[in-house]
Chain A
């Protein structure tokens, strides 16, 4: 069953179109990535899906509720905004209690769930300190807990690791992975493609409009490449490959050459060329392209168009 169903969604602010023609589905319990450069409309899309903005055109449902439903929709979704947005003078506990109250839940009943997340995110024992004294990572984790206190069915995470040091970012990523294991539907907006690759099953690439929507693996398989490991420095053989009639794109890293092909039948020619140039080939496999490469290609193609 689809947790999120989006059909032809568009948002205009006056004469400016933020996004248009978005159509995709997110399955229940799926971790779905929303990718795109700055200003591509990711945050606008999330705000529409979370019931903060009304769409200018199109329609969408989240857990069966129209995104125009307003308050009932906001009850079933959780939103982690790009900035944690905590009340610094209030303690961590008071910050959470406020959102428990806003969701009209009994604090005594809902607190054990909040405590569970505090424990899971390593904040237990710090909840009675003013949030203003928290580190950046702690603030982000408290903001995630805040988005979970009402047990939402769908969680939107907008740049959850933005601006965090590697250790904090990793802790937050691990936390998101744990939430995904709980079976919660998660939509993740991120510039960190490695993070998306690790956490998401499917992604949508947007830049004002939908450029692609696909499984992460399927997306990485778009376009052929040949991964060739040679003895010695691989960069020595790029000139030889440039002499091939189909002049393939080549990336090198240490002993590895990644040769971009337009046709699978070009692979034997590449190997023959390398051997002819004196390379001792240790292995050759068809490889998946890094998500980053596919993403950049999509975005550049859109810019060129």
Chain B
């Protein structure tokens, strides 16, 4: 049977999921917790560097990261810029994590609430369902990431300006990263959550399993902080390219798993 894609039905799924999300304060709080942490913590770190920029310990710390650091370079500014570069790796957790929270509800939540069968009995096609549900997860994830980025810039500049008299944020790497790489990561988080959500019976289990996929990101940032990995625009561009490839794989797998017959016979 051939089923044409109708944007109107995909929009209906998006409308319902978005409405449901707005009425779920628990989920909204969970979604906002990570951005708050990811904005406040770097503000505190930057403040710890700028409150006493002449502290000789900063020079020691800076040479740990770059042994060839010239003597005339402001160590506080070097460390702040280094922190901001490394922090982008952690910041990328947000566009992955938020869709995981939302999309885990996508299919597993419908199974749990026993709403899957009436939904599949409607004219909506599997592709429309997947697109509608993915949009309901991606739009808030990207919007939250961008809003958090603006707040992040404001906090960092507000903290650093009195001491350095220079606007550190936004810089080109962050702008490119937030505009291009963050949506790719959001797509990845959504894809992982949708695929897992289609395979398990409970939304909570889907969330827990999908959440494991954030750990490699934490590991990478750990490598950066430990000095094993040198973060920078090229490094993040490579991450973005790898995630783009994974996104393509997830689309193929997701479409296969969103098979109406498979969902009905297995889960209802």
* Binary per-residue interface labels of chain B (230-261) against chain A in the complex, 1 for a CB within 8 Å, 0 otherwise: 00000000000000000000000000000011
Is A98 in the interface zone, CB < 8 Å from B? Answer: yes
Chain B: minimal CB distance from A131 (Å): 10
Q: With contacts A90-B20, A101-B15 known, is A52 near B117, CB below 8 A?
A: yes
Give chain A interface residues in 40-88, CB to chain B under 8 Å: 47, 50-54, 68-71, 74-75, 77, 79, 81, 83-88
B123:A81 contact, CB within 8 angstroms: no
Is A253 in the interface zone, CB < 8 Å from B? Answer: no
Q: B75-83, B92-100, B108-116, B153-161: which one contacts chain A?
A: B108-116
A81:B265 contact, CB within 8 angstroms: no
Assembly CA distance A146 to B16 (angstroms)? 15
Q: What A residues does B123 contact at CB under 8 A?
A: 71, 74-75, 102-104
Q: B5-13, B136-144, B172-180: which one contacts chain A?
A: B5-13
Assembly CA distance A74 to B122 (angstroms)? 6
Q: What B residues does A102 contact at CB under 8 A?
A: 9, 12-13, 119, 122-124
* Binary per-residue interface labels of chain B (119-138) against chain A in the complex, 1 for a CB within 8 Å, 0 otherwise: 11111110000000000000
Chain B: minimal CB distance from A230 (Å): 52
Q: What A residues does B115 contact at CB under 8 A?
A: 85-87
Assembly CA distance A175 to B252 (angstroms)? 45
Is A89 in the interface zone, CB < 8 Å from B? Answer: yes
Q: What A residues does B120 contact at CB under 8 A?
A: 52
Chain A: minimal CB distance from B142 (Å): 23
Partner of A101, one of B1, B8, B118: B8
Q: What A residues does B15 contact at CB under 8 A?
A: 98, 101
Is A121 in the interface zone, CB < 8 Å from B? Answer: no
Give chain A interface residues in 124-153, CB to chain B under 8 Å: 130, 143, 146-147
B113:A88 contact, CB within 8 angstroms: yes
Partner of B117, one of A77, A81, A87: A81
Assembly CA distance A143 to B18 (angstroms)? 21
B261:A99 contact, CB within 8 angstroms: no
Is A94 in the interface zone, CB < 8 Å from B? Answer: yes
Q: With contacts A52-B260, A69-B1, A101-B8 known, is A94 near B121, CB below 8 A?
A: no
Partner of A70, one of B1, B11, B23, B268: B1
Using A53-B265, A98-B12, A104-B9 as known contacts, list a sample of 5 further A-B pairs with CB atoms less than 8 Å apart, ordered by residue number in A. Answer: A52-B121, A53-B261, A89-B24, A94-B19, A102-B12
Minimum-distance CB pairs A-B, first 5 = A101-B12, A70-B1, A89-B23, A79-B121, A83-B114
- Residue pairs across A and B with Cβ atoms less than 8 A apart, 22 shown, are A47-B264, A52-B117, A52-B120, A70-B1, A71-B3, A79-B118, A81-B117, A81-B118, A84-B114, A85-B113, A86-B113, A89-B23, A90-B16, A99-B118, A101-B8, A102-B9, A102-B12, A102-B119, A104-B8, A104-B9, A104-B123, A143-B118
Q: Which residues of B contact A (CB under 8 A)?
A: 1-4, 6, 8-9, 11-13, 15-16, 19-20, 23-24, 113-125, 260-261, 264-265, 268
